[in-house]
Structure 1
């Protein structure tokens, strides 16, 4: 057998193993996710549920920042829009829980599309300031329409009750509803990124001038990326309403938007695993900071971000990828 033939077959084997691994690790993670709520205490199940909620929100932010190369400091505002859309639909119209999810996502998508048209004519620092302004004025706006939003007191809602046939506790049922939403969201995002749209977003991120020369409509794809990002955030906000059973304007301050952006950067930009790692960061690191120092949790939070960025400048997903590549392989 010639050396070239041997090398070709070896290349085919490596490609097959790589493809199997790409399908194997999500299956393993999903299997562990399904198994987890039956082994954990209710509070820890709640924590994992919130990780999934944040992961869906960060998935949308990742489309905009990680894949389209745009900066947003107002992602928490669309999270709040989804949460309040779901809460109002449940409180005022008593719609079924599952019906509120696509409606809340559609409302957030529409708002993202409207706000994306003028915002996407900007770039860099100017775009960051515009999105920051969206997050700033949302809280007083929610408080102003008290008859609809409950004002400063917010809205208290009943959580989805598990059906009798499921045999699940309330925390487990909420977890599986959130897990199903997350799986659909990640499949949708993966499909989107593998399509022509994903290639256009990556061209836009890498070099706007070159992308425009190749025929990519910059304003069109920038606006759509903004709207898609808002849609995922709106869906996450709606599920957040189911899990918490309460919405209040003070839950959606500017700090939420900044924390989400920090979580995505720490998790890893441009990676499908980055939002999951970022969700873990958003859920647990602020609590750890509070436990370490009650007087200055923000200082601890900032130092932890700096430490992670020093060790993993491309995020935790990038660090994991580098460690896997260093594992010796048998030829």
Structure 2
């Protein structure tokens, strides 16, 4: 009798490849955290400050990613919620001398409530119309902050003391602020990950892919659209609060509409819908404008735009998508 040759079982291969993916991701996270903890002890204070700002922008972009990348809603006013969080923390510290840790939940909560309010018109608007509404918020916020000078400090802004490192830590001020920001960023990423892996994440993805089909499946469009704006604003408010701690100064001119546009550009370059996209976007938001300024002081905006075009040409799905494609090309053992 002729022997029948058996083909290799595809199920085992599938399990191996599926299991290798999470292992690679967890290994990358472990290496990244180790490098993040090691970096402030090897860098000069200015570079530590730059990394701190990268983490702050990453938290803000984490919220924008929930809204744009996972819920499919457009926003050109994310910088306004960033400013709301920053000014809430600054006013609490300046007027009421509230302890620094308490300003974080208050700033995030105020931004969350304002995000809920913005989510109401979002239930009826989409696309270009929704983008214009969010853009209008970013535009009128600056003159609004200047008008209420008794509270916000007007055009002069508010100057604040930075958190002082405790004696037991043995850390310099820049290192202490960095580790505070790192802890908040890690907590924010874990919160976003748990949201996306829950029923909420599945509802947001259904809303993004096809609103009609999502509604047929039982997803309450109005509720999840509103909550998407609120969650997005909450992350931005928390980032704005930490920004106030790190900078020690807030003024209306720090939160112009350019900030909102830069944040959106950073998210697109980093990678929409990717959990690591906001981190790469934070690097982009922090370093690319300064690089553009160094290349050509007369026209940094032109250089900035050309760099965005170049990155999107090389990586249409963002830097996170490019990294994922490169990792998949690495040969693995059978």
TM-score class, shorter: over 0.9
Aligned counterpart in structure 2 of residue 216 of structure 1, from 215, 219, 223: 219
Instruction: Tell me the residue number matched to 2:164.
Output: 161
CA offsets 1:69-89 (integer angstroms, 9 cap, x no match) = 010000000000000000000
TM-score normalised by length of structure 2: 0.97
Instruction: Tell me the residue number matched to 2:333.
Output: 330
Deviation at 1:5, TM superposition (A): 7.0
Contact 1:73/1:261 (CA < 8 Å) preserved in 2?
yes
Q: Return the alpha-carbon distance in structure 1 between the equivalents of residues 98 and 7 of structure 2.
A: 65
Which 5+ residue runs of structure 2 have no aligned equivalent?
none
CA offsets 1:106-160 (integer angstroms, 9 cap, x no match) = 0000011012112332000000000000000000000011000000000000000
Instruction: Tell me the residue number matched to 2:47.
Output: 44
Q: Return the alpha-carbon distance in structure 2 between the equivalents of residues 165 and 100 of structure 1.
A: 23
Aligned counterpart in structure 2 of residue 200 of structure 1, from 203, 218, 235: 203
CA offsets 1:167-212 (integer angstroms, 9 cap, x no match) = 0000000000000010000000000000000000000000111111
Which 5+ residue runs of structure 1 have no aligned equivalent?
none
Instruction: Tell me the residue number matched to 1:70.
Output: 73
Instruction: Tell me the residue number matched to 2:117.
Output: 114
Residue 188 in 1 paired to residue 191 in 2? yes
Aligned counterpart in structure 2 of residue 103 of structure 1, from 102, 106, 109: 106
Contact 2:60/2:235 (CA < 8 Å) preserved in 1?
yes
Contact 2:68/2:272 (CA < 8 Å) preserved in 1?
yes
CA RMSD of aligned residues (A): 1.1
Deviation at 1:6, TM superposition (A): 5.0
Q: Return the alpha-carbon distance in structure 1 between the equivalents of residues 71 and 79 of structure 2.
A: 18
Aligned counterpart in structure 2 of residue 243 of structure 1, from 246, 268, 273: 246
Contact 1:120/1:127 (CA < 8 Å) preserved in 2?
no
Aligned residues: 330
Deviation at 1:11, TM superposition (A): 3.4
